[in-house]
């Protein structure tokens, strides 16, 4: 690990002044320290935000929930309000990482975790995300875990989060404070970026921005499901995952809020697919048509070709379960 200066923030303005000097923010550290050990990330300064007062889970006036950025994945998954009203989120959190990691990993950090692309992690290989302009070794390389949707010529990495997939299906918003102390809110579907020509830019955050929390709107009517398919039964990243909030009225689909993990550079949501489902009678034909829409522009990369039929099957299976 390269040497760095360490500073513990007591206030938001401590974070702002450290950010002015180019400090990287550390909270749980489960991803950042891993990357620093491999010298994939080499910050010269770290500002530790773990002592900031961002650990509350509070109900909002309109029946939603505000989750502080430093709430651990464990605490969020164990919260009885989450377990009873947003179970898709509890399930997604518990499908990620291990008990030890969830005790450290935070809500804000989970959103900001980096891809697990093997070539991003290997500093001997080219990677446009790690070193812009160096090329992409995943294209034409081993790309079993890589994207089939929304990728670019520059990057085919996937976002590894489960939590963010559930939050996306739930319509969450991210609360951000900038280094001047101004607050703003960004809808989670606008928070992560597709790789395009700048895969090193993964979110709308600017230097000095701090995530202070995530707000879930009040739960809507419907069955909540999180389905994750991976190479082993536990403690592995998703090949395909789906968070679903689906409601049926009079044998017809009244709501289909669906988000996908493992398929793209960001948690994926497709409005056309949801529009196509809503109002349709519950039927295999409707589910098939939805899968066609999801995968219409899918581009496999060789080792991940299997993700196209897998995503189709998982989607149909989840819709069947949700409408049963």
Partner 1 sequence: MQTELKINGDKHVLDLDSRTTLLDVLRHHIGLTGTKKGCDHGQCGACTVIVNGRRINSCLTLACMHDGDEITTIEGLGTPDDLNPLQAAFVAHDGFQCGYCTPGQICSATAMLKEAKAGWPSHVTEDMASTPDLTDAEISERMSGNLCRCSAYPNIVDAIREVARGGKE
Sign of CA dihedral 271, 210, 116, 237: negative
The nearest distance, CB 25 to partner 1, in angstroms, is 12
Q: Of the ranges 15-23, 82-90, 139-147, 172-180, which one interacts with partner 1 (CB under 8 A)?
A: 82-90
Query: DSSP secondary-structure letter at 203?
Result: B
Using the minimum distance from each CB to partner 1, give the nearer residue, 105 or 147. 105
Using the minimum distance from each CB to partner 1, give the nearer residue, 63 or 279. 63
**Residue 107 makes contact with partner 1 by CB under 8 A:** no
Burial profile 186-225: b = 16 or more Cβ within 10 angstroms, e = fewer: bebbebbebbeeebeebbebeebbbbbbbbbeebeebbbb
Tokens matching residue 244: 């679903």
**Residue 71 makes contact with partner 1 by CB under 8 A:** no
Residue 251: Cβ within 10 Å count: 9
Distance separating alpha carbons of residues 259 and 124, to the nearest angstrom: 34
Q: Are β-strands 45-48 and 5-8 bridged in parallel, bridged antiparallel, or unpaired?
A: parallel
Task: Find the binder of partner 1 among 74, 177, 212, 304 (CB under 8 A).
Answer: 74
SS3 call for 286: helix
Q: Which of residues 284-313 bind partner 1 (CB under 8 A)?
A: none
Task: Find the binder of partner 1 among 16, 18, 23, 90 (CB under 8 A).
Answer: 90
The nearest distance, CB 253 to partner 1, in angstroms, is 23
**Residue 215 makes contact with partner 1 by CB under 8 A:** no
Reported as type and span, the H/E element at residue 12 is helix 12-20
Using the minimum distance from each CB to partner 1, give the nearer residue, 49 or 290. 49
**Per-residue binding letters, 169-188, with partner 1 (x by CB under 8 A):** --------------------
Task: Find the binder of partner 1 among 16, 19, 26, 238 (CB under 8 A).
Answer: 26
**Per-residue binding letters, 30-49, with partner 1 (x by CB under 8 A):** x--xx--x--------x-x-
Using the minimum distance from each CB to partner 1, give the nearer residue, 65 or 136. 65
Nearest alpha-carbon partner for 266 in 221, 185, 199 = 199
């Amino acid at each position: 690990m390269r040497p760095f200066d360490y500073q513990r923030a007591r206030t938001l303005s401590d974070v702002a002044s450290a950010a002015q000097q180019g400090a990287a923010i550390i909270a749980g550290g489960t991803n950042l320290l891993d990357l620093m050990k491999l010298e994939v990330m080499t910050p010269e300064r770290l500002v530790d935000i773990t002592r900031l007062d961002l650990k509350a889970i509070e109900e909002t006036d309109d029946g939603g929930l505000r989750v502080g950025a430093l709430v651990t994945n464990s605490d969020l998954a164990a919260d009885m309000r989450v377990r009873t009203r947003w179970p898709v989120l509890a399930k997604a959190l518990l499908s990620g990482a291990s008990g030890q990691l969830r005790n450290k990993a935070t809500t804000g950090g989970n959103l900001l975790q980096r891809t697990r692309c093997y070539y991003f992690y290997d500093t001997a290989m080219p990677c446009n995300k790690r070193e812009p302009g160096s090329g992409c070794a995943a294209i034409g390389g081993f790309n079993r875990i890589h994207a089939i949707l929304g990728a670019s010529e520059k990057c085919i990495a996937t976002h590894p989060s489960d939590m963010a997939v559930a939050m996306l299906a739930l319509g969450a918003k991210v609360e951000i404070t900038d280094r001047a102390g101004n607050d703003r809110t960004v809808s989670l579907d606008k928070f992560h970026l597709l790789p395009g020509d700048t895969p090193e830019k993964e979110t709308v955050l600017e230097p000095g921005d701090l995530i202070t929390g995530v707000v879930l709107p009040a739960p809507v009517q419907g069955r909540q499901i999180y389905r994750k398919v991976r190479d082993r039964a536990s403690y592995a990243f998703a090949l395909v995952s789906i968070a679903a909030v689906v409601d049926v009225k009079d044998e017809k689909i009244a709501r289909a809020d669906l988000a996908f993990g493992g398929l793209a550079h960001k948690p994926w949501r497709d409005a056309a697919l949801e529009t196509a489902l809503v109002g349709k009678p519950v039927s295999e034909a409707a589910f098939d048509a939805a899968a066609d829409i999801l995968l219409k522009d899918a581009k496999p990369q060789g080792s991940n070709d299997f993700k196209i039929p897998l995503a189709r099957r998982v989607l149909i299976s989840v819709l069947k379960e949700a409408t049963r």
